[in-house]
A and B are shown apart, each in its own frame.
Chain A
Amino acid sequence: MQLFPCPFCGPRDETEFHYGGDAGNARPDGAEVPIESWTNYLYLRSNPKGTAREIWVHMSCGEFFVMERDTVTHKVLSSTALGGEHAA
């Protein structure tokens, strides 16, 4: 069992967390969004081998946050609340 750090609750079991996608994948805005932008936003993923910046949700407290993680070693590099405050 790996422990993930929730910026609000501290280290908790990995089973309490759910993966929420790439960090920084912003929804396209505006009236005329080209189809490539929608495809990019909805489907295409960076899926990096190595350091990844990801959105996670701690299902116990319901908070979303950004976790930086190595996808090969599973080492957690940082865990930050969305907006930047409450860094653990």
Chain B
Amino acid sequence: MTRRYSALSLFKEGLAGQTGWKQAWRSPEPKPTYDAIIIGGGGHGLATAYYLAKNHGITRVAVLEKGWIGGGNTGRNTTVVRSNYYYPESVELYGLAHRLYEGLSKDLNYNVMLSQRGMVNLCHSTAEMEIGARTVNAMQLNGIDAELFSSEDVRRVAPIYNFSPDARFPVFGGIWQGRAGTARHDAVAWGYARAASRLGVDIIQNCEITDFIVEGGRCRGVQTTRGAIRAERIGMAVAGHSSVLATKAGFRLPINSYALQACVSEPVKPILDTVVLSPGCGVYVSQSDKGEIVIGGGLDRVPSYAQRGNLPKLETVIAGLLEMFPIFGQLKLMRQWAGIVDVVPDSSPIIGPSPLPNLFLNCGWGTGGFKAIPSGGTLLANLLATGKHNDISRPFDLDRFASGRLIDEAAGSGIAH
């Protein structure tokens, strides 16, 4: 029976005809009570469960997922991991996630295929170069690796970019983060699920929340399609559906839900070994380990809960891609899809207590939640275990919208969303 993944176990299983592999996580029936319930079995929810068990020793935990784990935005993003943000609060938050990602495969005993291939945010004018230098300086002061690239440096890492003299968006340079890269998104969900399950967490799929159980003004559990489940601490990490659950709990959030779409081409031989983002073209692109060109862009401009993108935005993104890389004009698109993202006015997440006591929030990641999964999980776990913020989560409390202490990372995504 193989429980631990290693080169040796792979070899042994090869000799034994692959018969000893165990199911990666258990699928138990829900119990009537838990110490903590986490709503949402995406990366953030599963990471929360794992860190509750690992960091705080709380293992009577249920993750409730209405569909299949990792089937929402965790399975729909463009898999980029980076921490090139501007404000110190954001750097603490995304820096923590980035560091945890670097040790994640070992920590979870599951290969999340982190590939630190570097990422360049292009600058298309002298004015953008000045802003780029300012961003690089801020990142370096905040202790995050960053380098200001010249046009020649960009040519070195992305020689297939459109460097012709009549390019619509010429390259003056770029912001380089060498530690940035991509990870296998499904593996992040599955790895956290497996590790959490082994520590005793119950992962319950096809279990949709229909209402909250509120007694004495406090949240005491949830009604689900699989019966009532009670706990004294409830966390929600449901991305684009945060407002839907908030309405059930009796409050509103500073969130609009939009579709963010992405697409991949047919697989081709290795041609692009870094992540390239062009603010001018409104496109970010990388090549997956399978060889597909993975393409993302801005939000669809129509508020939506439909998990599909609209055609005008796809056309804009593809037009931008071909401006960046005319060589991709021959590529065939293989798949196109969208996820529903929770967009907040200052483009920073909301982490902290909700207006309903005992219910805690992890939402508002908007277009960039994947890269933050390890820190979102760590921080929500800390809130559920202690009931209090730590220094990293405090600035991201919901109260910043009343106090006016917004953390405006509108430029942090690199794309005008």
Residues of A within 8 A of B (CB): 1-2, 13-15, 18-19, 35-36, 39-40, 42-50, 52, 54, 71-74
Contacts and interface: CB of A to CB of B under 8 A. Distances in A.
B243, B256, B302, B306 — most chain A CB neighbours (10 Å): B302
Contacts of B306: 71-74
Contacts of B247: 46, 48
B401 interface: yes
A14 B243 contact: no
A76 to B, nearest CB: 11
A35 B405 CA distance: 14
B175 to A, nearest CB: 30
B252 A74 contact: no
Interface in B218-244: 241, 243-244
13 contacts: A1-B310, A14-B312, A36-B402, A39-B401, A44-B254, A44-B401, A45-B243, A46-B247, A47-B244, A47-B252, A47-B303, A49-B244, A54-B303
Contacts of B311: 1
Interface string B282-325: 00000000000000000001111110001110000000000000
Contacts, number: 66
A48 B246 CA distance: 11
B311 to A, nearest CB: 6
Contact of B305 (A2, A13, A40, A71): A71
A53 to B, nearest CB: 12
A86 to B, nearest CB: 23
Contacts of A45: 243, 252-256
B257 interface: yes
B30 interface: no
B345 interface: yes
A47 B253 CA distance: 9
A72 B305 contact: yes
A52 B304 CA distance: 10
A14 B302 contact: yes
Chain B interface extent, by class: 20 to 34
A43 B254 contact: yes
B402 A47 contact: no
A15 B314 CA distance: 12
A44 B252 contact: yes
Nearest to A42: B401
Nearest to B241: A49
Contacts of B305: 49-50, 71-72
Contact of B256 (A1, A15, A47): A47
A47 B311 CA distance: 23
Nearest 5 Cβ contacts at the A-B interface: A47-B243, A43-B254, A44-B252, A43-B401, A39-B402
Given A36-B402, A39-B401, A18 B257 contact: no
Nearest to A39: B402
A40 B402 CA distance: 9
A36 B398 CA distance: 13
Nearest to B312: A15
A33 B152 CA distance: 56
A33 B244 CA distance: 28
A11 to B, nearest CB: 15
Given A36-B402, A45-B256, A49-B241, A19 B303 contact: yes
A36 B247 CA distance: 18
B243 A19 contact: no
Given A19-B303, A35-B402, A39-B402, A47 B312 contact: no
A44 B253 contact: yes
A16 B341 CA distance: 23
A13 B311 CA distance: 11
Nearest to A22: B256
Contacts of B252: 40, 44-47
A52 B305 CA distance: 11
B211 to A, nearest CB: 15
Task: Please indicate which of the listed interface residues A2, A13, A47 has the most CB atoms of chain B within 10 Å of its own CB.
Answer: A47
A45 B243 CA distance: 8
A74 B254 contact: no
Nearest to A74: B306
A2 B252 CA distance: 29
Looking at A36, A39, A73, the one whose CB has the most chain B CB atoms below 10 A away is: A39
A45 B253 CA distance: 6
Contacts of A13: 312
B184 to A, nearest CB: 30
